[in-house]
Structure 1
Amino acid sequence: MRKNTIDLQEKLQELLLAQRDNFLQGKVADYIPALASVKPDLMGISVATIDGQVFGAGDYQHPFSIQSISKVFGLVMAMNRIGDSIWQRVRMEPSGQPFNSIIQLEWEKGIPRNPVINAGAILVSDILTSHFSASKLAFLSFVRKLAENDNIYVDNQVYLSELKHGNLNAALAYLMKSFGNIEAEIPDVLSHYFTQCSISMSCEQLAKSLLFLANKGIDPRTKETICTARNAHKVNAILSTSGMYDQSGEFAFSVGLPAKSGVGGGVIAIVPGYGVICTWSPPLNNYGNSVVGMNLMADITEELGLSIYY
């Protein structure tokens, strides 16, 4: 790998400037009205390495709604709490369908195809709601600890917007409940799910908080074991096959890293043994992935030789 052959700070700035007009190609998410007002020309990139370095360019310290990136944290918490029994209730296969598909969930009798589509993440939220006395606080505390920042917060405006316009997610939850695959009360499960999606973080905070997945489950800064090496492997495998929804195959082809996107415009990518990359640009393509984020990930992976398939 060519990781250390260039000035990374200078390269991030260069790559970001090359994307300055590409936000016009996408559209900011508007099905959650609170996200529709975000300025489309904001963009940032940050790289955190397991040897303690953090680099960034653009709006990399500007907080944004992490949305589905929160599913990574939830999955780790659920795996830590109930172990491999989680895989009796959710599969680990790519869906090949939109991230909020209800048709596939009905076909498969209320068992989500994987934990990073909406149905799967709602199922994970049920596990957390059922196994933590205050799951929303536990989730926020977990994220704050990983990011080493107690100021990370839940954006209440986004939360209320999600709650008001989350009918399809509610339908997914009630369908799983009808098949006996949701244990807690649906309003409690949805409240947890919408809360975790409404957390605001910056590229820098996200990159630092997920370093343990690049280091076999161990936080390289504190040396604390966040999850087992085996569970880190499982999470990264799921992100490789399903983290970019039904554009996951294209992302693996063009970038080649475990990754997760969110409709707030964020994308995180894990580079095992090296670190974490996080990009942010709100306008999305037709798959719900950031246009600029996809471009930046492809460019930096190529420049630094970071693909796990090299």
Structure 2
Amino acid sequence: MAELVQEYLDQIRAEHLGNTGGALADYIPELARVDPSALGLSLSLADGYIYESGDFTTEFTIQSVSKPFTYALALDRIGQQAVDAKIGVEPSGEAFNEISVDKATDRPKNPMINAGAIAAVSLIPGTSADDRFAQLHEFYSAFAGRRLGVDHDVYASEKATGSRNRAIAYMLQSFGVLDGDPEEILDVYFRQCAIKVTSTDLARMAATLARGGVEPRSGRRVTSAAVVQRTLSVMVTCGMYDAAGDWVSAVGMPAKSGVGGGITAVLPGQLGIGVYSPLLDDKGHSVRGVEVCRSMSASLGLHFLSVTRESRSTIRAAYDARPGVRVYELHGDLLFAGTEQVLRNIEREYDDFDVAILEVSRVDDIDATARRMLAGMREFLNVAGREGLLVDPDDTLRVAGVPNSTARVFGTLDDALLAAESAVAARRNSDG
């Protein structure tokens, strides 16, 4: 039944594939050579399960999507108080590469703009540029769950054309924000931006943030929950630069974009998203990436202000009520992430039952996406040679305009069990 979610992602990608608006980031010569048609989309659930669509294996440079992870590393290494002394957390309302600091404090306004990101690099304790970069590289790789590569051509290209970032670094030094050699700090910054990722890497890195700093597949804690909380807070308000307000209103997830075409977005406690499409708008965000995230948020109900009770959405109980009959009792609020997990659990256990009964009488609330996903459960079970019954006395799962979406619905679990026993007997008689 994971095919239901896969169909959603493929459909969303297809809807935006024809959008050719925007332009490549030609101020970094190497970035102007990438394929402008690429569009990769990946979604990682909090348990590490991945959905992928399109050009999800295409590697590109992380660019400014690196900034929240460098900020997190600085917090992890020297603590929030020391970081706050050098970098603010207020939205700038300016472009990402603006040559400016806070007028009252002489600090960068936040760690998501270039000035703040360069300052964050300087806060990582290290004996050399190589030492600092090695820490960054290891930290990013731990979030992604694999060793990430570096695009040395892009690094060289950025270093050769990075005059604006040099101006920012020397300005910060003049204000006492940078204690080290600006050229050494910039070298690390250019290298961090040239780390190679895929949309799936970004989804996994986001899922590690969603899990409070624990990489889902390995269970390894990469950083503390307190560091993640501060990092996500700044991503909400500053991650999309001077388009942050529009992003939060329309998409509603902490996020970060990069001029390499990547966007990563986090739904805390639930999932991470990675998108790659290199054509950029005038604010430096991926045109199709932004639109894809808007569609995913709307279609799957991912806005973080609409999912405050998702932690209550769970399988209350799963048990074998009769030979060949498995019951799944649900309760709480059913939204996308919880419903996906329910369907995937049922799919994993195909071999353990002839009939599955979904009992939803204790469900408090359910959104349209979850209804559509659960409405397709019986069809997928039938294809697999199984039967699906529903205990739904209040018509919670009825989908308007969808024929037979509530077929085989019962008012009580006892009535569903009687029907299930008959279905099991009929199936076994036909087999025998």
Distance in structure 2 (CA, Å) of the matches to 1:269 and 1:147: 14
Q: Report how far residue 280 of structure 1 moved.
A: 0.7
Deviation at 1:202, TM superposition (A): 0.2
Task: Say if 2:120 is the partner of 1:124.
Answer: yes
2: CA distance between counterparts of 1:192 and 1:129?
Answer: 12
- Superposed, which structure 2 residues align to 1:129-208 within 5 Å? 130=126, 134-150=131-147, 152-208=148-204
Deviation at 1:6, TM superposition (A): 8.1
Maintained 8 Å contact 1:130/1:183:
no
How far, CA to CA, are the matches of 2:267 and 2:145 in structure 1?
20
Measured in 2, the distance between the counterparts of 1:293 and 1:83 equals: 33
Correspondence for 2:298: 302
How far, CA to CA, are the matches of 2:23 and 2:125 in structure 1?
A: 33
Q: Which residue of 2 aligns with 1:91?
A: 88
Residue ranges of structure 2 left out of the alignment (5+ in a row): 307-432
Which residue does 1:240 correspond to in 2? 236
Q: In the aligned structure 2, how far is the partner of 1:239 from the partner of 1:8? A: 26
The structure where strand makes up a greater share of residues is 2
Shift of 1:8: 1.4
Mapped contact 2:36–2:278 kept (Cα < 8 A): yes
- Confirm whether residue 291 of structure 1 aligns to residue 287 of structure 2: yes
Q: Counterpart of 1:7 in 2: which secondary structure?
A: helix
Higher RCO (CA-CA < 8 Å; seq separation 6+): 1
Aligned-partner Cα distance in 2 for 1:196–1:248: 23
Q: Cα deviation per residue 1:11-61 (whole Å; 9 max; x = unaligned)?
A: 111111111111x21111111011011111111100011122101100011
Aligned residues: 304
Task: Give the TM-score taking structure 2 as reference length.
Answer: 0.68
Show CA shifts across 1:242-294 (max 9, x none): 10110111100110000000001100000111110011100001111011000
What secondary structure is seen at the aligned counterpart in 1 of 2:52? Answer: strand
Whether the aligned pair in 1 keeps the contact of 2:166 and 2:186 (CA below 8 Å) is yes
Aligned to 1:276: 272
C-alpha offsets along residues 60-93 of structure 1, whole Å, 9 cap, x if unaligned? 1111111001112111111000101100110000
Q: Which runs of 5+ in 1 are unaligned?
A: none
Match of 2:69? 73
Distance 1:5 1:60 in 2: 18
Q: Does 1:218 align with 2:211?
A: no
- 8 Å CA contact 2:139–2:222 kept in 1: the answer is no
Aligned partners of 2:102 and 2:108 also within 8 Å: no
Q: Contact between 1:129 and 1:189, CA under 8 Å: does it hold in 2?
A: no
Paired with 2:3 and 2:237, the residues of 1 have a C-alpha distance of 30
TM-superposition CA deviations, 1:188-240 (whole Å, max 9, x none): 10000000000111011121123221012222333332222222111111111
CA distance in 1, matches of 2:269, 2:76: 22
Deviation of 1:305 after TM superposition, in Å, equals: 0.6
Matched residues in 1 for 2:48 and 2:240: separation?
27
When residues 225 and 26 of structure 1 are mapped into structure 2, their CA distance, relative to the original with a 3 A threshold, is same
Separation (CA, whole Å) in 1 of partners of 2:266 and 2:299: 16
Q: Structure 2 counterpart of 1:263, which letter?
A: V
Work out whether residues 255 and 263 of structure 2, in 8 Å CA contact, stay in contact via their aligned partners in 1: yes
Partner of 1:114: 110
Alignment-derived partner of residue 29 in structure 1: 25
The equivalent residue for 1:101 is 98
Question: How do 1:3-22 residues align onto structure 2 when only pairs under 5 Å count?
Answer: 7-22=4-19
Q: 1:5 to 1:147 in 2, by over 3 A?
A: closer
How far residue 108 of structure 1 moved from its aligned partner, in angstroms, is 4.8
Task: Give the direction of change, closer, same or farther, for the CA distance of 1:213–1:106 in structure 2 (3 Å limit).
Answer: closer
Question: 1:128 Cα shift?
Answer: 1.9
Cα distance in 2 between the residues matched to 1:128 and 1:94: 23
Cα distance in structure 2, aligned partners of 1:130 and 1:109: 26
2:48 — aligned with what? 52
Partner residue in 2 for 1:231 = 227
